[in-house]
Structure 1
């Protein structure tokens, strides 16, 4: 028992100084191409405006991409440390390898692009969403396409094609997005006041959970029928409501959605 406690203590201390690392694999990520040539450098909004993205299926490998910047060196007689400055940046020339599917629309788009001297937009969607319904990292770029090369190989090697993408601008990376929490009612609204003609009733919002900011809207009902214009948290009772029960509906809304809840009814309105 003492040995188990000692081992547990050592593990706990080790965790403080060596936190568990987390890394995502490539599994589940997707690569898309737009078959429309893009002659000019593109901003994030330009990529997001594209509507003809085509998924490239059966992607087996994507080579290294991203920014690689040259360093220029210069030394003079009177210094002891070589001086450096940044030069030109290469956005990458990765090979992409696919298991050849002649009828796949994405592969057909890449083959068609390779026969031209135009630049095409690419979109990679990583499988690293941080919440259910959220989106993973999106990486945009634009470049030329060459190929395919065919490795062929031996008897049991797969039939694959290898294309080369020459990216002509720096990538644009959009971090994962999360889906917000819409309102959920946990305590129904309540009505306070006396159900009597000439008196005022007041509605509480009840309790709604969800992401801030939550806004509230009201609708009062008499005998189950909406009272026209009664859309604030107070209601002045008139003879029109005489003999009827009163309820209120509260709608809670935030950026992720909305929810509604009804109060319990009052007693019938008296004179």
Structure 2
């Protein structure tokens, strides 16, 4: 089974890119982030024509997450993280799909740091860690996939010395990521590529993609039952070079069948 995460940076504006990638890559399950579309503007008909059923949590102008599947309808189990009933951001959606539990997430950016946005990022991360602890305790096959907006190590960022004051590389944020992993989650991409320079995001500015001045901020975390089934983990880097594409590239894993 092939499972992917992709920050599309606007699902309607980048729809031709998304549909092209779905056709060529043929993922079975996809978590999307940054839909940048209200609930009623999600392109459900185009997604269905491509062979995918979908659930989504939209928001006008910003945020927004979705789960697509061509291996059975996603059965929604949660919309939004627990712990803050006043949180209006569309950043988390969870569903049972073909024997798996998929949590699709878009963690806050957090800049500028320090400030209210950075404080919100840390609170959101704490809520994710608390919910993830409950998920992993079930011993179910669970995947947490999405744009985490964190580079875990210096290996995950081009010229790390330039990012020391950024919310994506802040010590508190990196520590939160490793607190999450310590629950028993496996970082799929890094697990199979422990020493490689591998990025998932390249800014639109300063010719970043051509220079490979990137960041690894899109992650798929696997609970123990799924980590044992992990066979491949890759980045579809070439998609970042397509016309009118997102500044992220799709990241995907392949799991052995049970």
Same topology, TM > 0.5: no
**TM-score, L = length of structure 2:** 0.19
- Larger RCO, structure (CA 8 Å, separation 6 or more): 2
Q: Which has the higher strand share?
A: 1
Please identify the structure whose Cα radius of gyration is greater. 1
**TM-score, L = length of structure 1:** 0.19
